[in-house]
């Protein structure tokens, strides 16, 4: 049921809507323009970026900044690291989270309430509290030179367990019972029946994990002090230390590379993604 | 107290035509029911009177005044929604008072009105409660009180009883009829339940697919339907309608309760022999389905329960109880002699 | 009969253990990387622990004493964080609410505006910070200063001035967050049945009254959620500060997370940093407790 004329037919007349439309376009502009600025800066030569007044479109369109990053700074290493960290994270989390959520949803066992309560409490403990100790642990276990400190500490995705358990709980009992009648083992029930039915939730969780790891800055900052394990975020932030002075074209080019995958995915799946985030707000 | 007129009203939702060129007058002081299946346009019409779902084109008049572009809050109409739409964060008193406050009614008068109305609907004890603590029936009374306290020219009701359980629904039906009798205000009531419509209405406006099928008192519409749709929408079970055989372009019908059953050939105008296919005991009556040899089946509602399945019986109906319809489904009222002759000759 | 009982007993035990096996990895990770560090943080805060010298020295409450009474910079960081949080909470809720009311009706255009507003939320905080650092460049050619010059106003030093640095950081956070919270409010607005708006129309309700007496009360659970969530997230701010201002100029934008980081990894004073971290943890726990208390009260009302 949708309501049509809130506050009278006045608003329906065409011309009166113009200020509203312009206003909203301005709002959209505020959110999009910085990205536009980032992109065109990346295609300007350095000299043009410090020009006054600045140009709204590159006068001397150039790929120098990108060549600089990819060539000189060996960007691919960092991209590779980011990808490895992100993908491994998702895989690890799935392996840990699916059985756990399944157990919390399907079984009753001593200590279940306590353990699930711990999962919920863990949701509220931020990295700012845990990083010191985890760093010391990684140092003690001599893992600091590897990619592992960026992956292992997030093995348990508390939010993921919460969401997935809810999804599993919503699967009707009858489906599970007919699986039992079909002589399915627990593993089969979990992977071939319940998991496919919870696919949207799993995709959502993977998406949150992907965004979280790809964009992570604080954690890798702490956990990486050698070049070869740094992810893209750290590399780009350090660009301003590597150049002589701050070269905005190069910095912006780096950010374009960091931002592009996310924006591209968002462009294709914007509705679904926003739905997932809106639902998360309801919690 | 006011008469409502629709003049050449059209309603489009995007590309979809819901109502086209509809003209209708709802008489002042009547309990008028807009009846029809889902999607027929009855709620659309109601919302047009309220102003919350304006017409795409055409005019609407209330009490002689053109209200087509008047804001809903200034039309002097009140509405009871299907899901009550009471404000969840206000108390019952707050809900009833809200419209009065907006219309700048002074406090002393507001208090008086609230007191009177809550006595009429029986909510005096609940005035300071919040809606979440009330039952469905009580919430409905709040919606009703909110409408009544505005002393409107027209009461609009959008299937207000459909969310109540059967017992409560029957009780509320009686209360609404009495309310109408007391207030003598125009009531426009939307429902898809033909039993409800027949019980409550002074005038029924039956709609289908955005078009008015028939307008009249319950008795008129029931006994003298203008088309097949009307004939079959009202009545449980609906009128039996079938073709004559020789005249493929004409259909004839009669109501199940108007037909007779007998073992011997009766002397009725319409009589035909068939086999009883099913028998349902309804308590006070028995419902039979009779199959005729040419494949046609009819339902007969009889006070006699003695007929059994598979028995051969005669179905009969008198001339006055027959209705004829043309190939467009419209009722044929004149030039019936030829048709009657055909019927009279059938066995 | 004996033969029938034995296999049943075996599978019975297997079924009893199975849930524990399935939850074990998750619990293990949680214990090692979440709960132990939390406890260890408190533990370490009572020590003097320099990363270079691995021997810890127990010093009791001295770190806390130093945090609050000896140095001024922690209190400064607390204050900055509070100011930052207050500003962000205020502006995000106000602007997200206004925007949500504006674009709540279903239309392709409104959805487009919503999508644009949401985009910064998905992008790394790092990138948002760098882009805005560029826009707020204190030179003449920085975009903001260019705009100012169009109005014949002098350029501002933005991130380089202690007066405006905090404002600049707040702007970035607000810009990044509005879209997400607006989305939540829009969902809440859409959850209000259309009939309530229609009934209000029939009640001849003026716009302001519709907002304050009907919409706002119905939104209050979500607004409360927003208030607490934004507050908690604001207390954790790090990326923006590290990238844009490094806590400066001076100490103007030093915030708690950054303070902890500095003392742990630049001054290598793990114990002291842990004390600061514990204070942060306590603050966050209090805020979370407030949230749950408020939540249960509201659930009771609904």
Chain A residues closer than 8 Å to C184 by CB: 278, 281-282
Chain C nearest-CA distance from A24, in A, is 7
How many residues does this entry show for chain A?
Answer: 283
Q: Which of C18, C37, C118 sits opposite A274 (nearest CB)?
A: C118
Chain C residues closer than 8 Å to B99 by CB: 202-205
Q: Which of B85, B103, B146 sits opposite C195 (nearest CB)?
A: B85
Shortest CA distance from B80: residue in chain C = C199
Q: How confident is the model at residue B280 (pLDDT cuts 50, 70, 90)?
A: very high
Q: How confident is the model at residue B300 (pLDDT cuts 50, 70, 90)?
A: very high
Return all residues near A55 (Cβ < 8 A) that are at least 6 apart. A44, A48
Structure tokens at C114: 């919503």
Neighbours of chain C (3+ CB pairs under 8 A): A, B
Query: So what's the architecture of A74-237 in CATH?
Result: Orthogonal Bundle (1.10)
DSSP code of residue A54: P
Query: For A87-113, what is each residue's pLDDT tens digit?
Result: 999 999 999 999 999 999 888 888 888
Mean pLDDT of A214-223: 93
pLDDT(A1) > 60: no
Which residues 12-51 in chain A show a CB within 8 A of chain C? 20-21, 23-25, 27-28, 30-32, 34-35, 37-38, 41, 49-51
Chain C nearest-CA distance from A271, in A, is 8
Mean pLDDT of B188-211: 94
Along the 302 residues of chain C, how does pLDDT read in single tens digits? 444 445 555 566 777 788 888 899 999 999 999 999 999 999 999 988 887 777 888 888 989 999 999 888 999 999 999 999 999 999 999 999 999 999 988 889 999 999 999 999 999 999 999 999 888 887 878 888 888 888 888 888 888 888 788 999 999 999 999 999 999 999 999 989 999 999 999 999 998 999 999 999 999 888 988 898 899 999 999 999 998 888 878 888 899 999 999 999 998 899 999 999 999 999 999 998 888 888 777 655 44
- CATH of residue C170: 1.10.3720.10
Domain of residue C158: give its range.
66-301
Which residues 4-23 in chain A show a CB within 8 A of chain B? 4-5, 7-9
pLDDT(A19) > 90: no
CB-CB under 8 Å, A3 with B71: no
CB-CB under 8 Å, C193 with B72: no
CB-CB under 8 Å, C118 with A277: yes
In a domain? residue C60: no
- Other Cβ atoms less than 10 A from the Cβ of B345: the count is 8
Question: What pLDDT is attached to residue A5?
Answer: 43
Query: What is the value of pTM for the model shown?
Result: 0.84
Tell the residue number behind the tokens 């943080």, with chain if given: C41
- Above 0.90 for ipTM, yes or no? no
Q: Which of C16, C37, C124 sits opposite A129 (nearest CB)?
A: C37
CB contacts < 8 A (A, C): 260
SS3 category, B189: strand
| Segment (H or E) for B203 | strand B203-208
CB-CB under 8 Å, C203 with B81: no
Structure tokens at C192: 């209000």
In a domain? residue C247: yes
Shortest CA distance from C272: residue in chain A = A132
Question: What pLDDT is attached to residue C138?
Answer: 79
Which residues 181-200 in chain A show a CB within 8 A of chain C? 186
pLDDT(A50) > 70: yes
pLDDT(B207) > 90: yes
Distance CA B192, CA B38 (A): 7
Mean pLDDT of B278-295: 91
Query: For C267-278, what is each residue's pLDDT tens digit?
Result: 889 999 999 999
Question: What pLDDT is attached to residue A11?
Answer: 44
Cα–Cα distance list, B286 to A229, A279, B195, B261 (Å):
86, 55, 19, 11
Q: Which of B50, B73, B132 sits opposite C205 (nearest CB)?
A: B73
Domain count, chain C: 1
CB-CB under 8 Å, B77 with C202: yes
Distance CA A80, CA A21 (A): 43
Chain B nearest-CA distance from C227, in A, is 20
Chain C nearest-CA distance from A234, in A, is 9
In a domain? residue C234: yes
CB-CB under 8 Å, B86 with C199: yes
Q: Give the residue among B230, B185, B248 at the shortest CA–CA distance from B3.
A: B185
Contact call for residues B251 and B331 (beta carbons, < 8 A): no
Question: What pLDDT is attached to residue B1?
Answer: 52
- Indicate the range of A114-128, A241-255, C195-209 predicted with least confidence: A241-255
Shortest CA distance from A26: residue in chain C = C113
CB contacts < 8 A (A, B): 15
> Residue B252: beta bridge partners?
B242, B324
Shortest CA distance from A153: residue in chain C = C33
The rounded mean pLDDT for chain B is 90
Distance CA B324, CA C124 (A): 76
The count of C-alpha atoms lying within 13 angstroms of the C-alpha of B290, restricted to the half-sphere facing its C-beta, is 27
Q: Which of A3, A4, A8 sits opposite B71 (nearest CB)?
A: A8
CB-CB under 8 Å, C26 with A263: no
Question: What pLDDT is attached to residue C11?
Answer: 62
Check residues C12 and B262 and name the one with the higher pLDDT.
B262
Structure tokens at A81: 């690291």
SS3 category, B9: strand
Query: For A148-180, what is each residue's pLDDT tens digit?
Result: 999 999 999 999 999 999 999 988 888 888 888
What is the percent of chain A where pLDDT is above 90? 40
Q: Domain residue spans in chain A?
A: 9-66, 74-237
CB-CB under 8 Å, C25 with A128: no
Q: Which of C193, C201, C302 sits opposite B83 (nearest CB)?
A: C193
Check residues B343 and C102 and name the one with the higher pLDDT.
C102
Chain A nearest-CA distance from B252, in A, is 40
Check residues A48 and A233 and name the one with the higher pLDDT.
A233
Distance CA B184, CA B139 (A): 24
The contact set of B with C (CB < 8 A) is 50-52, 71-74, 77-79, 81-83, 85-90, 98-99, 102-103, 130, 132, 146
Mean pLDDT of B190-196: 93
Helices (H), A1-74: 18-42, 46-49, 64-67
DSSP code of residue B60: E
CB-CB under 8 Å, B52 with C214: no
Instruction: Give which of A6, A7, A9, A10 to mutate to test B binding, by max B Cβ within 10 Å.
Output: A9
Distance CA C275, CA C49 (A): 11
Query: For B301-338, what is each residue's pLDDT tens digit?
Result: 999 888 889 999 999 998 888 899 988 889 888 887 77
Distance CA A155, CA A157 (A): 6
* Interface membership of C223 toward B (CB under 8 Å): no
Contact call for residues A201 and C110 (beta carbons, < 8 A): no
In a domain? residue C57: no
Q: DSSP per residue over B249-307, as a string? A: T-EEEE-GGG-EEESSPP--SEEEEEEEEEEEE-SSSEEEEEE-TTS-EEEEEES----
Chain A residues closer than 8 Å to B72 by CB: 5
Question: What pLDDT is attached to residue C294?
Answer: 81
CB-CB under 8 Å, C38 with A237: no
Contact call for residues C91 and C170 (beta carbons, < 8 A): yes
Peptide bond just before A53 cis, omega within 30 deg: yes
Give counts: helices (H), strands (E), chain A: 16, 0
DSSP code of residue C156: P
Question: What pLDDT is attached to residue C10?
Answer: 55
Question: What pLDDT is attached to residue A231?
Answer: 92
Query: For B217-257, what is each residue's pLDDT tens digit?
Result: 999 999 999 999 999 999 989 999 988 777 778 888 999 99
pLDDT(B343) > 80: no
Which residue ranges form the domains of chain B, and what is each CATH number? 4-228 (3.40.50.300), 238-344 (2.40.50.140)
Query: For B220-229, what is each residue's pLDDT tens digit?
Result: 999 999 999 9
CB-CB under 8 Å, A54 with C146: yes
Phi, then psi, of B8 in degrees rounded to 5: 50, 45
CB-CB under 8 Å, B69 with A4: no
CB-CB under 8 Å, B85 with C193: yes
Chain A residues closer than 8 Å to B53 by CB: 3-5
Distance CA A28, CA C179 (A): 10
Peptide bond just before B237 cis, omega within 30 deg: yes
Question: What pLDDT is attached to residue C2?
Answer: 47
Contact call for residues A171 and A194 (beta carbons, < 8 A): yes
Orientation angle between helical segments C216-235 and C270-301, nearest 10 degrees:
170
Q: Which of A32, A156, A186 sits opposite C29 (nearest CB)?
A: A156
């Amino acid at each position: 049921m949708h309501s049509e004329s809130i506050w009278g037919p006045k608003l329906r007349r065409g011309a009166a809507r113009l200020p509203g439309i312009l206003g909203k376009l301005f709002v959209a502009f505020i959110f999009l323009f910085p990205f536009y600025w980032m992109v065109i800066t990346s295609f300007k030569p350095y000299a043009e970026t410090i020009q006054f007044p600045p140009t709204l479109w590159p006068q001397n369109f150039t790929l120098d900044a990108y060549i600089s990053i990819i060539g000189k700074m060996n960007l691919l290493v960092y991209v590779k690291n980011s990808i490895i960290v992100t993908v491994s994270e998702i895989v690890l989390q799935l392996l840990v989270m699916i059985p756990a959520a399944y157990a919390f949803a399907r079984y009753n066992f001593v200590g279940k309430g306590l353990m699930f309560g711990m999962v919920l409490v863990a949701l509220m403990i931020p990295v700012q509290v845990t990083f010191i100790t985890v760093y010391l642990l990684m140092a003690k276990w001599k893992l600091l030179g590897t990619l592992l400190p960026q992956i292992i500490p997030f093995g348990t995705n508390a939010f993921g367990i919460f969401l997935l358990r809810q999804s599993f709980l919503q699967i009707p009992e009858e489906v599970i019972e007919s699986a039992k009648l079909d002589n399915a083992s627990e593993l089969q029930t979990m992977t071939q029946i319940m998991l496919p039915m919870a696919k949207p939730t799993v995709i959502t969780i993977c998406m949150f994990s992907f965004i979280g790891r790809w964009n992570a800055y604080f954690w890798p900052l702490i956990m990486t002090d050698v070049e070869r394990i740094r992810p893209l975020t750290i590399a780009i932030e350090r660009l301003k230390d590597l150049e002589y002075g701050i070269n905005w074209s190069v910095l912006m080019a780096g950010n374009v590379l960091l931002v592009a995958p996310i924006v591209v995915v968002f462009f294709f799946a914007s509705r679904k993604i926003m739905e997932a985030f809106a639902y998360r707000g309801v919690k | 107290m006011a008469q409502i007129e629709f003049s050449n009203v059209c309603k489009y939702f995007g590309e979809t035509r819901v109502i086209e060129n509809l003209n209708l007058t709802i008489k002042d002081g009547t309990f008028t029911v807009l009846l029809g299946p889902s999607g027929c346009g009855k709620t659309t019409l109601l919302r047009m009177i309220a102003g919350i779902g304006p017409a795409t084109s055409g005019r609407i008049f209330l009490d002689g005044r053109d209200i087509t572009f008047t804001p809903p809050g200034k039309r002097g109409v009140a509405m009871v929604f299907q899901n009550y739409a009471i404000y969840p964060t206000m108390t019952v008193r707050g809900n009833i008072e809200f419209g009065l406050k907006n219309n700048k009614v002074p406090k002393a008068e507001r208090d008086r009105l609230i007191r009177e109305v809550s006595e009429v609907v029986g909510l005096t004890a609940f005035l300071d409660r919040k809606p979440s603590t009330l039952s469905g029936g009580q919430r409905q009374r709040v919606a009703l009180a909110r409408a009544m306290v505005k002393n409107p020219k027209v009461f609009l009701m959008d299937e207000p009883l459909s969310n109540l359980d059967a017992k409560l629904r029957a009780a509320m039906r009686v209360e609404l009829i009495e309310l109408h009798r007391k207030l003598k205000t125009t009531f426009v009531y939307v429902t898809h339940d033909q039993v409800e419509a027949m019980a409550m209405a002074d005038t029924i406006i039956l709609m289908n697919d955005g078009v008015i099928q028939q307008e009249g008192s319950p008795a008129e519409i029931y006994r003298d339907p203008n088309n097949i749709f009307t004939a079959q929408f009202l009545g449980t079970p609906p009128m039996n309608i079938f073709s004559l055989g020789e005249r493929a372009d004409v259909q004839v019908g009669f109501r199940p309760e108007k037909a007779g059953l007998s073992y011997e050939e009766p002397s009725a105008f319409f009589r035909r022999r068939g086999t009883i296919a099913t028998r349902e005991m309804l308590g006070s009556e028995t419902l039979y389905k009779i199959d005729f040899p040419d494949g046609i089946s009819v339902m007969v509602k009889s006070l006699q329960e003695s007929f059994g399945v598979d028995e051969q019986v005669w179905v009969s109906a008198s001339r006055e109880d027959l209705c004829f319809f043309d190939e467009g489904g419209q009722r044929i009222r004149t030039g019936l002699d030829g048709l009657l002759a055909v019927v009279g000759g059938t066995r | 009969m004996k033969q029938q009982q034995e296999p049943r007993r075996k599978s019975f035990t297997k079924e009893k253990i199975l849930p524990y096996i399935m939850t074990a990895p998750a619990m293990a990770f949680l214990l090692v990387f979440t709960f132990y560090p939390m406890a260890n943080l408190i533990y370490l805060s009572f020590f003097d622990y320099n990363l270079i010298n691995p021997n810890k020295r127990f010093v009791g409450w001295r770190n806390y004493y130093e945090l609050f009474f000896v140095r001024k910079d922690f209190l400064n960081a607390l204050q900055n964080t509070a100011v930052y949080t207050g500003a962000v909470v205020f502006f995000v809720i106000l602007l997200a609410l206004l925007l949500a009311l504006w674009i709540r009706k279903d239309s392709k255009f409104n959805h487009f505006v919503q999508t644009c507003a949401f985009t910064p939320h998905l992008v790394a905080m790092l990138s948002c910070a760098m882009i805005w650092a560029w826009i707020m460049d204190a030179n003449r050619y920085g975009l903001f200063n260019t705009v100012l010059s169009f109005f014949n106003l002098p350029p501002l030093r933005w991130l380089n001035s202690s007066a405006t640095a905090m404002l600049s950081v707040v702007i970035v956070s607000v810009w990044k967050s509005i879209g997400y919270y607006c989305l939540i409010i829009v969902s809440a607005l859409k959850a209000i049945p259309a009939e309530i708006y229609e009934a209000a129309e029939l009640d001849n309700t003026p716009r302001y009254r519709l907002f304050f007496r009907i919409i706002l009360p119905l939104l209050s659970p979500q607004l409360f959620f927003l208030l607490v969530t934004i507050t908690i997230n604001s207390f954790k701010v790090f990326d923006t500060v590290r990238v844009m201002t490094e806590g400066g100029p001076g100490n103007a934008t030093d915030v708690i997370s950054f303070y902890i980081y500095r003392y742990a990894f630049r001054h290598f004073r793990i114990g002291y940093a842990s004390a600061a971290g514990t204070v942060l943890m306590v603050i966050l726990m209090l805020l979370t407790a407030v949230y749950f208390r408020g939540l249960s009260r509201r659930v009771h009302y609904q």
